[in-house]
Amino acid sequence: MSIRRFTCSLLAVLAALGSASASTPGEARTAPAYEYRVLATLRTSTMERELNDAAANGYRFMGVMKGDTAFGGGEVVSILAREPGVTTGRYEYRLLATQKTSTMERELRRAGEAGFSYRGQTIGGEVIVILERDREASPLRYEYRLLATQKTGTMQSELAEAGRNGFEFVGVTVAETAFGGSEVVSILRKRIEIPDVERSADSR
C-alpha cells in the first residue's frame, strides 16, 4: 500500500469520526473536539502493548490497517481517540495475528469466552484482529466463527448457514494471505448467555 493511499484512508477515518459526532438539526453546532493518537509498528506483539498503554490513558481504538507506509515498511497502523480531559481508561485490548484459520478460530474462541468484543481486522500475510473488553460493563461472552474461502459462492453459502444459526457478521477482508492465496476472510459472532449464578460471581 502506498503512502498516498494510507494518507487518504487515514483522512477518511478521521472525517468519519467527526461526522458521527456532528449536532442534529436544531441543536447548537459546536465543533467536536478529540485527541487522536496514531500507533505504528512492524510487530503485532508491540501493537497490543501500545494499544493497552494508550487505553490506560483514556484512548479508545477507532480503526486499524496494515500496509507499506513511509513510516518504515509493512506496518500495523492503529488510530485511537479520546475526548479532552479524559485521562483514565476503561477498555483493554487483545490483538490476534496468525496465518492459520484453525489457530485464529481457537484464539477467537478464547477471547470471546473472556468477554472480548470484535473491533476491527486487517490483513497482510496474516489476519490481524483487534478485540476490546469494557471493564466497567456487565460481563459478556461471545462465540466467534471464522469463514475463509477463495470462492465467493462458498462464502455466500457459509454465511447463510451461520446466519441461520444466529451469528452476526462483524468484519471481512480480501487479500493475498498465507491461508492459501487470495481469500475472503469473514468473522461472525454470537452472544452467549451467562447463567445468573455465574454472572453474580463475576460481578463480585
* Band of pLDDT at residue 179, cut at 50, 70 and 90: low
pLDDT of residue 131: 97
pLDDT of residue 11: 46
Q: Could you tell me the CA-to-CA distances from 55 to 50, 151, 152 in Å, in that order?
A: 8, 38, 37
CA distance 104 to 25: 44
Residue 80 near residue 61, CB atoms below 8 Å: yes
List, for residues 54-73, the tens digit of each pLDDT value: 999 999 999 999 876 665 56
Cell numbers for 47 = 501493537
* Band of pLDDT at residue 199, cut at 50, 70 and 90: low
pLDDT of residue 104: 92
* Band of pLDDT at residue 87, cut at 50, 70 and 90: confident
* Band of pLDDT at residue 42, cut at 50, 70 and 90: confident
DSSP string, the chain: --HHHHHHHHHHHHHHHHHHTPPPTTS-------EEEEEEES-HHHHHHHHHHHHHTT-EEEEEEEEEETTTEEEEEEEEEE-TT-----EEEEEEEES-HHHHHHHHHHHHHTT-EEEEEEESBSEEEEEEEETTSPP-EEEEEEEEES-HHHHHHHHHHHHHTTPEEEEEEEEEETTTEEEEEEEEEEEEPPPHHHHHHHH-
Q: Which of 46-55, 76-85, 90-99, 122-131 has the lowest average pLDDT?
A: 122-131
This prediction's pTM: 0.76
Specify the higher pLDDT residue, 153 or 32: 153
Which range of 11-20, 66-75, 155-164, 188-197 scores highest in mean pLDDT? It is 155-164
* Band of pLDDT at residue 25, cut at 50, 70 and 90: low
Residue 63 near residue 40, CB atoms below 8 Å: no
Residue 107 near residue 94, CB atoms below 8 Å: no
Q: Could you tell me the CA-to-CA distances from 200 to 124, 141, 168 in Å, in that order?
A: 42, 14, 27
